[in-house]
Amino acid sequence: QSSITAVHWSPLKKELVVSGDEKGIVICWWYNRNDTHHFFPEPRTIFCLSCSPHNEDQVAVGGELLLWDLTKAGKQKWTLLGSSSEGQNHSRIVFNLSSVSLQDNRELLLSTSMDRDVKCWDLNTLECSWTQPTLGGFVYSLAFSPVNIGSLAIGVGDSMIRVWDTLSLQRAYDIKTLWQGIKSKVTALCWHPTKESTLAFGTDDGKVGIYEIYSNKPPQISSSYHRKTVYTLAWGPPLPPLATGGDGDGPAVTLYSCAGEGIILQHNPWKLTTDAQDVNRLIRETNGIKHKLPGRSELNWKPDGKILAIGNDDGSIEIFQAPRLKLLCTIQTHHKLVNAIRWHHPHGTQPELSSLIASGSNNAIVYVHNLKTVLESPPDTAITVTEPYRTLPGHTAKITSLAWSPHHDAMLVSACYDGTAQVWDVLKEEPLSNYRGHIGRLLGVQWSPVDPDCVWTGGDDFTARQWEVSKQQHTQPPRGKKSIELEKKRPNCSKTKSKKARKRTEKGSVGQEGEESQENTTQNVVGSRNGSADRAEEEEEDCRDETEMAKLSNGTPRIAVSLDEPRAQENTDSVLPNSLHTVVSRTPQMKPDRLKDERRRERAEVTVKKKKGRSVLPLSTINDHQSKEQLLSDCVNLANILYSKESESQSRPGSGDEIQLGLFVDRAAVYRMFEEEGQNHLEAGHSEICYQLMLWKGDVRGALEMATERGELNDALVAMAPMAGYTVWMRTVEAFSKQLCFQEQYVKAATYLLYIHKVYEAVKLLQSHQLFREAIAIAKARLQPDDPLLKELYTNCASFMEKDGHYTIAAKCYLTAQSPYDAAKILARKGDVPSLQTAATVASIVGEQELSSLFSSRCSLDLLAQRDWQGAQDILRPQEGLLGQRLVLCTYELLYRYLADGNLILWKSMNPPCYHDWTLRRDEPLIHSVIAIWQSEFGITSADTERLKTAHQQLRITEHPEASPNTLPRLLMLYLAHDLSLAIACSLLSDWSQMVTALLNAVHRCISAGDFTLMREISKIALSEGEDFTSDLEVKLPCSDHIGLAALHSLRAFHCYGQVYQLWWTLAADHSGMSPGRQQADAEEQREEEEEKGLEVDGMQGSLGQPADVPFDLGKPMGVPPPAASKLPSSCASLLSPEHARLQALHRQMADIQQAVAGLVSQHQKRLAKPEEAQQGGPGLDQGPEPEPAENPTPNHHGSEPPFSKETSSMTTLMEQLQDITQQQSELAETVKLHPFPDVVESSLVVLSISSLVPSIVPSEIQNQAVMLVQTYGTAKPYQRALQRILPGTA
């Protein structure tokens, strides 16, 4: 009696049919004997059922998994599968079943459900054998709980959340599925920082909710919706006007959400029904911002809850101080939309690492910034950061997610659209490991909170994957090949169009007329932040649509022709050759064919001209073409009507069978004929003739009302509207305008609104449909110049053009709307040299000098990369506030020319260098040339104190990150030019202490970058007069300036350090009779032989890439006569400093202790990973390493064997030794610890090696000092063995 919802034919009993209905009744019907059995398991709809292919008496019904015995008649109790324990059955509706029979007579049943779990049931025991969870969409978000360690939340595009207990010991896939109240894709997740069961989520349709995962209640949904996809969620301290949770009046933390429309909302988790607060209001109020704020795309709270970082769609990152959100600084390194921001965790071994912030955007580069200075000393006014602390290049597509390792210092993992996840050593700027297991784009990444070697990633291949960092064969992302491989793995379909483009295509081919149907409707549509927000079903539908549309090209049908078939080959004369899917040729044929076509066209035109129009009075015309008898009868009837008063009341001419008589009687008859003819035209679909008949009888108002009601107004009817009066005309024009809007003819609709003087309505109509050019034209022509609607139009037009990539038009709109700040920022969005130059010029014209300086600085650096020094100076010349940078570029150009002339160039460019004429001065030292050019070209002299102090102040406040071996050569040269410029400015101001410090920074920066040759050249430039120059500086520095004297001591030591090494290499080459290059090759062969024998390589650190091995094993001095110019530097005694040697030895001991502590922690973690050993009472953390040490222990990174035995290497002992080292360091003078210094023990060994080659060069007191330093502070075995080989018998 109810609708049947499921039916199945038994595969064993051919006469048995089983059906179920929406009331829950199951009927088994044996149609051959007309016998039925009825079952009523429970009163709810049966979605599916299946008869067993192995046992004719068993039927499975969807919903719960139930089992019946069909041999029993009447009502019976069913059997529920998986009833022995909880969690075995499906959590949602079962919609498919399939049975399997194994060879061992086991019968299995496979089931699938809306919970997307695949379960296997043993029909003998009625228990679930195994469960395989699956995902039905992209993995958009991953989040580990900070309270319940190991609980991983996964946000999926199938509108469900999975909560996975990854540490469960019961089963591998201990997953709970959350689906209630979620109507769209889950794109963002965030756990509550203190509540174990509270999970916030955001969806693709802009909703934000909070789930209590241990409750069966549906989630709470915020009443404030976003208009676009929610990208990011974060828990943070409450901001005004919400109350804090200290006194119980408000929550301790609130929920923040960022979505695609560029807005960040603050939700009150206690009252989600109240309106959420827009964070931009507080930012504007606190910082007094009047200009338009950029669109927000990402946010991340610092773990201490005091600092908030917000990423924007223009590539900038803003740092705010809670609770009033005071702007501290703006980071301007990215130039595209920021997708990910992450603060470093605060529990590292180095506290300053907590100031690191990593960010990724659409430009495929990860930047890391160190904000320690800004956070410790907040500036009064916000500053701009343009240089990153570390740069991590390598990815080839947009960065989608970042995660710091909670187990390591400065180790970061990034997820990218190139289909890989990359692990970085941030401080070294080195790639460590690259995971390529996904077959699609990556959307999320999380580092395991338990396993230091485990990382989780999710992507658009419908999978979440766990992988180990140490087991990956690749170390860095692929260089452009991975994207090609990913495209091959995807379904073979053309690139999908967006929904808007498809709708426009359909409208353009069906509903548009005239020129609108010829427009190209495949316009670009601005996508979401991650671009992957389309469902999988939509992508499959797009692929099918594209496959069908591929059959047409420019309106031409495509014919699939196989070149292997003879019949197809016969037809290839009429198609284009060399293509499997060829296009029917539409090229002009022979001249006779064209003549025939023209004749046919002419005949067709003649035929069209001869065709008659549709009859206006068809019914009366038909009645006037009847038989002769009927026509004669009409004459009699007309005579009776006109002349006989008796028949006048009996007939109705103009209607019915006498409609043709309406033309010959009175006006009323004609009206009746018009009415009946008009009704006939309406039924036939020719309403325009009906309106024509109404106009014939003068019923203009009736015709307009009918056309308005039917939505069939046209230009002719509206033109006649004034005949019916002013009110009717106004009402008709408004109705026609609405009708045109439904027909998507918005410009024409606005024009008709102008006819009735509704200018504002016309402009609003065009604006609402993004026809800004037409709207602005009308507004400028018809409104007052100060009308606020004009500014609104320009602002909205600018926003639309900005999203569409038309930055110049957007800038024009902002300029007209009195928003010059936004105009300049938009012009700089592309980031190329012309755009930055234009943006700087516009900003300068409108009075935004700070913004103009920023863009000019960026533009000059781009020109610097092209070696266009003239262009860089021209860009900075109008900016008086960038005088310091102009001086740095001048020094840079001279330094580059100096090194290039000496064949010591560090980097090259595809563009030829563009020098100034003043770089040709070569008759004086470089420092003197710089000073002379500063005076002649820039007006920097000692006499003009104000200008000199201004330049000095600009140079002094500019900071650059420390150099590393991975620092780009052009950036290293820029840093050196800045240090030299600061030193020269200080010398002109007689600030000798700061000058020495700047020179020392330049020399040490070369050492940090690993370039010894460059260090020697910088030393020659800085100390052009040698020992006399340092002596003069020592005299100029006051005795009370201990810091300056210490810096001078370090500078003199570095200069001597380079001279000593150069002398050593010269003597060693002369003694061996080979060039330094040949000596280096022999040293490498000796090193390889010793490594093959398992021996430890003697020698020092290699002196920054120069030959490391020297003939230390000469035994006795050979008495080699020294070259005439070879002598030990007189300042060698300053290099052999006992205080610095002691400090460096303490640093080495501290590093060894830290390595030992790390080893103990690693062994303890491995022991925790083995539950069996832990239960047997394994050794604790303070009992030292359990395994025996190897016979040949591997040296650590300091070149010394671990000095800690099994008995002394407990954690307590190590901490005591570390405390003792810290105490010894505190006893040293602060001036010793303040500045960098060369390795004293290494330098001592070099001096002793020189003494072994040429004893007469090294004085005995210097030799004794070197031996003492090595014996006292070089306690590591490599140092002692080197000393034995140089001076045998020395202990």
Per residue in 753-774, pLDDT (tens digit) is 999 999 999 999 999 999 999 9
Rounded mean pLDDT, 714-736: 93
Cβ contacts of 910 within 8 Å, gap of 6 or more: none
Task: Give residue 139's pLDDT.
Answer: 97
Q: What is the DSSP string of 781-793?
A: HHS-TT-HHHHHH
Residue 46's contacts (CB-CB under 8 Å, 6 or more residues apart) are: 5, 6, 20, 21, 22, 24, 26, 61, 62, 63
- Neighbour-count burial for 59-82, b at 16+ CB within 10 Å, e otherwise: bbbbbbbbbbebeeeeeeebeebb
Those residues with Cβ within 8 angstroms of residue 345's Cβ, 6 or more apart along the chain or in another chain = 303, 354, 404, 406
Q: What is the pLDDT of residue 1117?
A: 33
The Cα 207–Cα 225 span in angstroms is 5
Write down the pLDDT at residue 561. 29
Average pLDDT (817-840) is 92
CB 311 within 8 A of CB 323: no
Q: Residue 674: what are its φ and ψ, rounded to 5°?
A: -60, -40
For residue 682, pLDDT over 50 is answered with: yes
Taking each helix axis from N to C end, the angle separating 869-876 and 849-865, rounded to the nearest 10 degrees, works out to 180
Residue with the bigger pLDDT between 331 and 1067: it is: 331
Residue 1025 pLDDT class (50, 70, 90 cuts): low
pLDDT band, very low/low/confident/very high, at 229 (cuts 50, 70, 90): very high
Is 50 exceeded by the pLDDT of residue 1180?
A: no
For residue 654, the model assigns a pLDDT of 85
Q: Look-up: residue for tokens 């860089």?
A: 872
Distance, CA of 819 to CA of 293 (rounded, Å) = 11
Higher-scoring residue by pLDDT: 569, 1243:
1243
Q: Using an 8 Å Cβ cutoff, are 517 and 509 in contact? A: yes
Angle of helix 700-710 relative to helix 726-742, nearest 10 degrees, comes to 20
Which of 508-512, 970-974, 1193-1197 has the largest mean confidence? Answer: 970-974
Neighbours of 549 (CB within 10 A): 13
Beta sheet of 16-21, edge-to-edge order: 4-9, 16-21, 26-30, 35-39
Query: In this model, does residue 752 exceed pLDDT 60?
Result: yes
Mean pLDDT of the chain: 80
Amino acid letter, 188: A
Q: What is the pLDDT of residue 295?
A: 94
- The total of other beta-carbon atoms located within 10 Å of residue 316's CB is 18
Residue with structure tokens 């009415």?
675
272: helix, coil or strand? coil
pLDDT band, very low/low/confident/very high, at 546 (cuts 50, 70, 90): very low
Region for residue 365 given its phi and psi (left: phi exceeds 0; alpha: psi -120 to 50; beta: otherwise): beta
How many other CB atoms are found less than 10 A from the CB of residue 1159? 16
- pLDDT exceeds 60 at position 694: yes
pLDDT of residue 1173 exceeding 60: no
> Sign of dihedral through CA atoms 793, 795, 796, 800?
positive
Q: Are 41 and 66 in contact (CB under 8 A)?
A: yes
Q: CA 371, 377, 380: angle at the middle one, nearest 5?
A: 105
Eight-state DSSP code of residue 880: G
Please tell me the distance from the alpha carbon of residue 1187 to that of residue 210, in angstroms, as a whole number: 49
DSSP category for residue 936? I
Q: Which of 69-83, 149-163, 592-606 is predicted least confidently?
A: 592-606
- Please say whether the beta carbons of 1286 and 1245 come within 8 A: yes
In the prediction, which pLDDT does 581 show?
A: 34
Q: Of the given ranges (141-155, 649-663, 797-811), which has the lowest mean pLDDT? A: 649-663
* Bridge partners, 949 (sequence order): none
The whole-number pLDDT of residue 589 equals 39
**C-alpha triplet 739, 740, 745: angle, nearest 5°:** 160
C-alpha to C-alpha distance for 756 and 587, rounded to whole angstroms: 51
Residue 568 has what pLDDT? 33
d(CA 518, CA 514): 7
To the nearest whole percent, how much of the chain has pLDDT over 70? 79
Residue 1071: both structure tokens together: 């003694």
CA distances (Å), origin 1100, targets 364, 845, 1246, 1282: 40, 59, 9, 9
The residue with tokens 């947009």 is: 398
Cα torsion for 1098, 1103, 1105, 1107, to the nearest 10°?
-60
Q: Quick check: 1107 and 1290 in contact, CB under 8 A?
A: no
Chain segment 157-202, per-residue pLDDT in tens? 999 999 999 998 878 888 999 999 999 999 999 999 999 999 999 9
627 secondary structure, DSSP code: -
DSSP H stretches of helix in 411-561: 481-489, 499-510, 536-549
- How far CA 903 is from CA of 40, 91, 897, 1222, in Å, comes to 94, 74, 10, 46
Question: Which amino acid is it at 281?
Answer: R
Q: Which residue is listed with tokens 């320009």?
A: 794
**Residue 881 three-state SS:** helix
- CA 250 – CA 1022 distance, rounded (Å): 62
Is the confidence at residue 902, as pLDDT, over 50? yes
Nearest to 1153 by CA among 1214, 1206, 1198, 1200: 1214
**Contact predicate 325/283, CB 8 Å:** yes
Give strand ranges (E) for 571-661. 581-583
Check whether 237 has a pLDDT greater than 90.
yes
Q: How confident is the model at residue 1250 (pLDDT cuts 50, 70, 90)?
A: confident
Place of tokens 């976003």: 226
Residue 62 pLDDT more than 70? no
pLDDT of 1200 over the 80 cut: no
Whether pLDDT at 650 is above 60: yes
Adjacent-strand bridge partners of 257: 233, 265
Q: Do residues 239 and 279 make contact, with C-beta atoms less than 8 angstroms apart?
A: yes
Q: What is the pLDDT of residue 1290?
A: 66
Which residues in 214-252 are b (16+ Cβ under 10 Å) and which e? eeeeebbbbebbbebbbbbbbbbbbbeebebeeeeebbe
The reported pLDDT for the residue numbered 1125 is: 45
pLDDT tens-digit readout, 558-596: 323 233 333 333 333 333 333 333 223 333 334 455 545
Q: Which of 296-300, 441-445, 868-872 has the lowest mean pLDDT?
A: 868-872
Q: Rounded to whole angstroms, what are the CA distances from 283 to 237, 289, 292, 737?
A: 15, 8, 12, 43
For 487-491, 799-803, 1034-1038, 1192-1196, which range has the lowest pLDDT when averaged over its residues? 1192-1196
pLDDT in tens, 482-508: 455 555 554 443 444 444 444 444 434
Of 1061, 1055, 1054, 1056, which is closest to residue 1108 (Cα–Cα)? Answer: 1061
> What per-residue confidence (pLDDT) applies to 91?
81
Name the residue among 532, 385, 355, 522 with its Cα closest to residue 461.
532
Q: How many residues does the chain have?
A: 1291
Please give the residue that has the higher pLDDT: either 525 or 644: 644
- pLDDT value at position 1111? 36
Using 50, 70 and 90 to split pLDDT, how confident is the model at 879? confident
- If residue 401 lies in a helix (H) or strand (E), which one and from where to where? strand 399-404
> Which pLDDT does position 593 carry in this prediction?
55
Instruction: Please state which of the ranges 13-17, 359-363, 370-374, 531-535 shows the lowest mean pLDDT.
Output: 531-535
Instruction: Summarize pLDDT for 250-271 with one digit per residue, the tens.
Output: 899 999 999 999 999 999 999 9
Provide the pLDDT for residue 58.
83
Given this model, what pLDDT does residue 1202 score? 47
Cis peptide before 323 (omega within 30 of 0): yes
Mean pLDDT, range 407-414, rounded to an integer: 96
At 143 the pLDDT is 97
Query: What are the tokens at 1135?
Result: 């290099």
